[in-house]
Amino acid sequence: MDRAGAPMRRAFLVRVVTAMLLPVLSAHAEAPAVVHQGESARAETARVIETLRARLLAGPSATAVLEAWCAERGLADDPRLVARRVAGADKPLSALQRQRLGLAADEPVRYRRVRLTCGAHVLSEADNWYVPSRLTPEMNAALDTTEMPFGRVVRPLRPTRSNLGLRMIWQPGDGQMPNPGDALFSVEAVLSTGDGVPFCEVAETYTGAVLAQGRR
């Protein structure tokens, strides 16, 4: 009886052990796929950020680049940016900033801080220090009284950008995907007229909202 029952007992034990091991083996088999998917998503996010960063550094107008980006990714029916003023105390220019703008010690400078929005998306926050005497009266009035972005207001000056610095904030190795309000990177630049006269310094911080994808 024992010899006859041995094969049956062995088969029963094999089924029990297999049933116990299947969940463990499945978990180990699925884990690399989950990790791979996370790494792939972060790599794609880094690629999108790099694309936008390269366009901003190469373009003469951040406003034009962001409006094209907004249209390309379908973030709003109307891709034109709106500059929402941020209330707060003025930030004075440093001596080095005044030097970069070629200003006399007593030459007036205006400060404007805005959130640049496309539809419901806040794509960036920007500090602008600009020299009102180097803009037209109409431009100064628009900057004082409207929500037009700086780049659109000064477009008749045929501005160019000289990049001063770039700082990456979000990194693919951080382990988490950026939220819409998270800072991704910041850029500092000096804007000059088509004739080479500097008239503005900007400090821009771009947010995770630029990664959004809407209807196209």
Report the chain (216 residues): mean pLDDT per 10 consecutive residues.
Answer: 52 47 44 56 92 96 97 95 93 94 93 97 98 98 97 97 96 87 98 97 98 82
Amino acid at 177: M
> Which residues, including other chains, have CB under 8 Å from residue 110's CB and lie 6 or more apart?
129, 130, 131, 132, 140, 143
Name the CATH superfamily housing domain 40-211. Answer: Chorismate lyase-like (3.40.1410.10)
The pLDDT value given to residue 13: 45
Q: Which of 202, 207, 203, 122 is nearest to 169 (CA)?
A: 207
- Where do runs of H (alpha helix) occur along the chain? 2-58, 62-72, 95-100, 137-145, 150-153
Q: Where are the domains of the chain?
A: 40-211
Q: State how far the Cα of 126 lies from the Cα of 124, in Å rounded to an integer.
A: 6
How far, in Å, CA of 161 to CA of 164, rounded?
A: 9
The answer to whether 150 touches 127, Cβ cutoff 8 Å, is: no
